[in-house]
Amino acid sequence: MQFPLLSFIVFTPMIAGMLILLIPGERKTEIRMAALAAGAFALALSIWAYFAYDVTAGGYQFVEKYQWLPQLGISYFVGLDGMNAPLVLLTGVVMFTGVLISWGIDDRPREFFAFLFILATGVFGVFVALDLFMLFFFYEIAVFPMYLLISIWGWKVTREYAAMKLTLYLFIGSVVSLVGALAMYYVSGLGTFDMVAMEQANFSVDFQRLVFPFVFFGFAVLGGIFPFHNWSPDGHVAAPTAVSMFHAGVLMKLGAFAALRVGIMLLPEGAKFHMPWIIVLTLVNVVYGAFIASVQNDFKYVIGFSSVSHMGLVAMGFATLNHNGMLGAGVQMFSHGVMTALFFAVVGMIYDQAHTREIPNLSGFRKVMPVVAIAFIVGGLVSMGMPGFSGFIAEFPIFMGLWNGQPSSLWNGYGWIAIIAAISIVITASYIIRIVGKVFFGQLPAEFDGHVHDVNMLDKVAVVFLSAIMIVVGVYPQIIVPLVQSGVENVMRLLGGA
C-alpha cells in the first residue's frame, strides 16, 4: 500500500493538537516546542507532497479512498491535483510561520495551539477532499475554532463582535452552499458524494443555472466576494496575529477554492451562465477594496481591505473561465496567501511593541526592526504587482485572461474590466508607499524610544522565509506554474474548453 501522505498531512495538526493538550498548561516552553515540531513536520510533509506531485502525469495523485458511510455514499476520499497542491504547501508554510511568531503568546498557549491546529486540520482537509460531504465536514472544522480563537485571544476592543459576525457570516454561507450540494446529491441520482463521480453526472443546464449561485456564493462569502466581504476586515483586525495570518492567508483561499471545486467544476454550465455578471462584482472587489484600503488609518484594516481587493483578483481570474485567468487565479491564491501572512505577521510585531496600530502615530520602525522593514517592503512590492515578485506572476495572466477570447465587441468582452481593474494597481502602490514611508521611515517618536526593540530570531526567520518564497516565485515562476497549469487543464476539460 502506498504511504498515506495526505492523511498524514491532514491529521498531523489534529493529533499534535490533542497531544499538546496533554502537556500541563504551565509548562509553556514545552508546549511551544511541541507546537513548533508539529508545524515543522507538517511543513516538511507538505513540501514533500508539493514536489512529489508528478506534473507530467497530472490528474489526482496520492489518492486515498475509504468507505465511511456507504449507505449514503459517503467516503473518506482525498487526492492532490495541480490546483490544491500549492494551497497545501501554503497551509504548511502559514502553519509553520504562524507557530514561530506566536511564540510570545502567554495566555493559555496550550489551548491556543490546540485550536490553531484543529483549524489547520480543517483547512488541509478542505483542500484535499474529493468527497463533497468530507469537504463540508472539514469546512466546518475550520470555521469553528476560528470563533474561539478570535473571541478568546483577539483584540479586546472588538473581538466578541468580530467573532460573532465572522462565524454567522460563514455558517450562513456554508448552509446556503449545503443546500446546493444536497440538491446536487439528489438530482444526480448517483447516490454518492464522490466529486470525481459527480463531475460526470450530466446535470441539466437549467438545474446547473439554478443551483450554481447558491453553491458559488455560499463558498465565495469566505473568499470575501463583494458584497459579502465585510466580515473579513473586522475578523482580520480582531484576530490574534497567527490567526489573522491563517485567516487571510489560508481561510479566504478555502472559500475561493471550494467555489471552484464545487461550483465551477461540478456545475460548469451554471458558471458559464452566471460569470458575466459575477465578474462585475469581482471588479468592485478589486477597485473598491483598494480604495477603502487607501483611506484606513488602522494598519491592520489597511491590510484587511487589501486582502479583499486581492481576493477579488482570484475570483476575477476564475470568472474569466479561461486558461490564463484560472492559471493566474491559482498562482494568486498562493502568492496572496504568503504575502498577506507576511503582512499580518509584521503588523502583529509592530503592535506588540508599539501597542497601537494607528498609522499616523507610527514612524521610524526601520531603525529598530530592519529585517522586518525589508520583509514588509518585499510584501508591499508583491502587493502592488511589481514585476520580479510573485504578485506579478499571478496578476499578469489574470489580466491576460480578461483580454482573451477576441469577442465580437469591446463591451461583450472583458477588456474594459481589465482597464478599470488596472486602476487598482496604482491605488495599491500609493497606499503601500504611504505605509512604508510613514511606518518604517522617518524619525522614531520619542515615546517609543527605548520601549520598542527588534523582534526575536524566530520572528525574523518567519518573515524572511515568507519573503524569500515570494521572490523565488517571482524570479523563477517555473517552480509553481506547471503545477497549477496541470490543475487548470483539468478544470478546463470540465468546462469543455481547451
* Binding residues vs another protein (CB under 8 A): 323-324, 327, 381, 384, 386-388, 392-393, 396-397, 399-400, 402-404, 406-410, 412-413, 415, 418-419, 422-423, 425-426, 429-430, 433, 437, 441, 477-478, 481-482, 485
Location of C-alpha cell 473518506: 76
- If the CB atoms of residues 15 and 419 are measured against another protein, the closer one turns out to be 419
**Closest separation in Å from C-beta 428 to another protein:** 10
Could you write out the DSSP letters of every residue in 344-378?
HHHHHHHHHHHS--BGGG---HHHH-HHHHHHHHH
Question: Which residue, 192 or 485, is less far from another protein as judged by CB?
Answer: 485
One-letter identity of residue 268: P
Residue with cell string 469537504 = 135
Q: What is the nearest approach in angstroms of another protein to the Cβ of residue 373?
A: 11
Question: Closest CB to another protein among 46 and 324?
Answer: 324
Q: Distance (Å, rounded) from C-alpha 76 to C-alpha 447? A: 56
Q: How far is the CB of 290 from another protein (least distance, A)?
A: 13
Q: Which residue number, 66 or 441, has a Cβ lying nearer to another protein?
A: 441
Q: How far is the CB of 80 from another protein (least distance, A)?
A: 20
Query: Which residue, 82 or 223, has its beta carbon nearer to another protein?
Result: 82
Peptide bond into 227 cis (omega under 30): yes
Q: How far is the CB of 358 from another protein (least distance, A)?
A: 16
Smallest Cα–Cα separation from 113: which of 125, 126, 95, 128? 95
CB closer to another protein out of 28 and 438: 438
457 C-beta neighbours (distance < 10 Å), count = 11
Backbone torsions φ then ψ of 412, nearest 5 degrees: -75, -30
Please, which residue, 194 or 395, has the CB nearer to another protein? 395
Measured in residues, the chain has a length of 498
Least distance CB 408 / another protein (angstroms): 5
In terms of Cα–Cα distance, which of 382, 353, 498 is closest to 440?
353
- Residue (of 163, 307, 173) closest to 248 by Cα position: 307
**Residue 386 Cβ vs another protein, minimum distance, rounded to whole Å:** 6
Q: What does the CA dihedral 404, 488, 217, 415 come to, rounded to 10 degrees? A: -10
